Every structure is written in C-alpha cells, then in structure tokens.
C-alpha cells in the first residue's frame, strides 16, 4: 500500500512542478491560482512522502519519489510546454525509469 502512496506522492510532485511552469506563463490573477495549486500539490506530495517513508526505506522512497517527479516533469515539459524531445533526453528518461524499477525490485519491502 505504501508503494501506491509513494507513487501518488510522486505524481503530486509532477503537479507542483507543472504549476510552477504554468505560473511562469500566466498573467494577471491566473498567476496566483497556479501558485495556490503549487502549494496545495507540494503539501499533499510531502505529506504522502512522509506517510510512505514510515514503512519504506528512506533512501529508496526518496529516490523513487524524485525519479517519478523527474520523469513526469520532463514528460510534462515535452507534451505540455513543448520542450525538445531528442534521442538523448528520451534515452536518459528510460534509463531513469529502469533505475526506479530496479530500486523497487531490490527493496526489502
């Protein structure tokens, strides 16, 4: 169950990073809404990370959490913010995903 909580926490990390990107593009009062979304997503992500680390090893949990956030944020950048998607970026995303799966596979929990 805590692996699911950790994955959800990672998805909220993607959400708070995406809110920062949208706030940078926004104008007027919309900027404040994106920052509110950032703070809500950040809070939920941190609370879920704390919950997950109550039973999962902190090193593994933190690495998986940041990995999900990094991969998700890069993908959001490519698909939403039109960041470049060249061979090496995709290659290293897959390398990171493989490392996250490897950490989960060798974890004692």
The answer to whether residue 61 scores a pLDDT higher than 80 is yes
The pTM assigned to this predicted structure is 0.87
Whether the CB-CB separation of 37 and 15 falls below 8 Å is answered with yes
The answer to whether residue 109 scores a pLDDT higher than 60 is no
Nearest 5°: phi and psi at 93?
-65, -45
Q: For residue 34, what are its two tokens?
A: 């994106």
Burial class of residue 91, CB neighbours in 10 A (0-12, 13-18, 19+): exposed
Going by the DSSP 8-state scheme, the letter that residue 56 receives in this structure is: S
What mean pLDDT comes out for the span 14-23?
96
Q: Which residue has the higher pLDDT, 60 or 87?
A: 87
Share of the chain above pLDDT 70, in %: 98
Confidence class for position 107, pLDDT limits 50, 70, 90: confident
Q: Which residue has the tokens 């039109």?
A: 82
Q: State the chain's mean pLDDT as an integer.
A: 94
Residues 63, 4: Cα–Cα separation, whole Å: 15
Maximum alpha-carbon separation in the chain? 49
The pLDDT of residue 105: 86
Q: For residue 75, what are its two tokens?
A: 């993908």
* Interval 64-104: pLDDT, tens: 999 999 999 999 999 999 999 999 999 999 999 999 888 88
Q: For residue 104, what are its two tokens?
A: 């989960």
């Amino acid at each position: 169950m805590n692996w699911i909580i950790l994955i959800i926490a990672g998805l909220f990390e993607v959400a708070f990073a995406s809110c920062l990107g949208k706030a940078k593009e926004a104008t007027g009062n919309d900027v404040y809404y994106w920052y509110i979304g950032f703070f809500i997503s950040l809070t939920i992500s941190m609370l879920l990370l704390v919950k997950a680390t109550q039973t999962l090893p902190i090193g593994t949990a933190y690495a998986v959490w940041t990995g999900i956030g990094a991969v998700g944020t890069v993908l959001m950048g490519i698909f939403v913010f039109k960041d470049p998607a060249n061979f090496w970026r995709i290659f290293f995303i897959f390398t990171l995903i493989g490392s996250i799966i490897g950490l989960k596979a060798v974890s004692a929990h």
